[in-house]
């Protein structure tokens, strides 16, 4: 059975810096049409930020789903959307003209399993090269001090099969997939630019994010979709592999808390949800939520899948005041209800 250790209570603190008393700050969110980016942009708008959202709508999944993610943001007067590839848009003009102070770099090519073989190139382009172009732009601004924080969306996939659980940020990264390799490379680039040019970088390593708007290729989405349609669920491995599960609103909260991180050195934090469960335990819980018994079909473990994952979030708790708030059962219920409502749309 899943372990549920976090409270569902939501924080109410405002995160906008003191300068917002006179003028709301401007934040750039890359990958704004994605799962996490769209939730983050909405939260920033609610916290009195101006938000410039950038997305190139890669063909990894349907553009219509991403457009739906952006619906609330597009209706907001403090939101500006720019469609374009980070490697091709005039980032210097974008940052200077909008007087951007905070960067939340959520953009990237996602997915562990598709990163093998001939599909590797987009991972290099969107995870490594795009990050380097963005960093190079920022450190060559007329006023480099314009950027108050650069928050990078990292991944727990860099740990691979860690030797110790829960895993701390000091553990040696040993990714098991090409995706994990590119995320680690991008993270290292952020730290290099931070140390060489005093860029105030904070990297957050996300652990298994779920919730409404989750990408259609992710396993929670696939499990729930199969339950809703009465189809067989394919499980890769024996189902006893475990993951640290983090609800999307907790990830968003961590991004805003990252603005409080000290500026003296690059900072790295694990962001987990306080709930670790096996795949079989998750399926049992989803069956209870759906009031049905899942039909399961087990297959060999997929390449790049690590056996266990668990986050030591002590550093984020101590330095950022981060605490996961959404319990696993509640988070799964919210995602299930969202997917059910999407399935019923014409």
- Which three-class secondary structure state does DSSP give residue 206? strand
Residue 166: is the preceding peptide bond cis (ω within 30°)? yes
Residue 121: both structure tokens together: 């190139």
Tell me which of 179, 193, 269, 322 is the catalytic residue: 179
Buried b (16+ CB within 10 A) or exposed e, 119-143: ebebbbbbbbebbbbbbebbeeeee
What is the rounded CA–CA span in Å between residue 198 and residue 81?
29
Query: DSSP class of residue 56?
Result: -
What is the rounded CA–CA span in Å between residue 339 and residue 290?
12
What torsion, rounded to 10 degrees, do the Cα atoms 310, 250, 219, 111 define? Answer: -80
DSSP secondary structure string for all residues of 125-190: IIIIIHHHHHHHHHHTSSSGGG--EEEEEEEGGGG-S-SSSSBPTTSPP--SSHHHHHHHHHHHHH
What is the rounded CA–CA span in Å between residue 47 and residue 270?
24
Q: What is the chain's Cα-based Rg?
A: 19
297: number of Cβ within 10 Å: 10
Active site residue 159: no
Helix ranges, the chain (H): 35-46, 63-69, 71-74, 91-97, 121-123, 130-139, 178-197, 219-229, 248-257, 279-290, 314-320, 328-343
Of 187, 27, 22, the C-alpha closest to 94 is: 27
What is the rounded CA–CA span in Å between residue 276 and residue 311?
9
Q: Could you give the residue numbers annotated as active site?
A: 179
């Amino acid at each position: 059975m899943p372990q549920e250790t976090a409270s569902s209570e939501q924080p109410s603190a405002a995160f906008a810096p003191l300068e917002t008393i006179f003028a709301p700050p401007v934040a750039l969110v890359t990958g704004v049409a994605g799962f996490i980016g769209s939730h983050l942009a909405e939260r920033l708008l609610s916290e009195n930020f101006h938000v410039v959202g950038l997305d190139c709508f890669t063909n990894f999944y349907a553009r219509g789903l991403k457009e739906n993610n952006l619906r609330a943001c597009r209706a907001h007067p403090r939101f500006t959307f720019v469609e374009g590839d980070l490697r091709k848009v005039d980032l210097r003009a974008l940052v200077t003209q909008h007087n951007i102070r905070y960067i939340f770099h959520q953009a990237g090519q996602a997915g562990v399993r598709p990163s093998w073989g001939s599909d590797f190139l987009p991972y290099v382009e969107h995870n490594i090269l795009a990050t380097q172009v963005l960093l190079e732009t920022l450190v060559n601004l007329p006023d480099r001090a314009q950027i108050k924080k650069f928050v990078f969306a990292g991944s727990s996939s860099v740990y691979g099969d860690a030797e110790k659980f829960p895993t701390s940020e000091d553990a040696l990264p040993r990714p098991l997939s090409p995706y994990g390799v590119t995320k680690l490379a991008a993270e290292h680039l952020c730290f290099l630019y931070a140390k060489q040019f005093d860029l105030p970088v904070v990297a957050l390593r996300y652990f298994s994010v779920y919730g409404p708007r989750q990408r259609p290729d992710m396993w929670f989405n696939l499990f729930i979709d199969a339950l809703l349609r009465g189809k067989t669920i394919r499980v890769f491995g024996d189902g006893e592999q475990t993951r640290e599960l983090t609800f999307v609103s907790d990830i968003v909260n961590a991004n805003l808390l990252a603005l409080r991180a000290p500026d003296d050195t690059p900072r790295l934090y694990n962001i987990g949800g306080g709930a670790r469960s096996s795949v079989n335990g998750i399926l049992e819980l989803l069956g209870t939520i759906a009031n049905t018994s899942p039909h399961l079909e087990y297959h060999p473990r997929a390449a790049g899948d690590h056996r266990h994952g668990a986050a030591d979030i002590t550093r984020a708790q101590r330095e950022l005041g981060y605490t996961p708030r959404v319990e696993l059962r509640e988070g799964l219920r919210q995602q299930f209800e969202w997917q059910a409502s999407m399935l019923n749309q014409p």
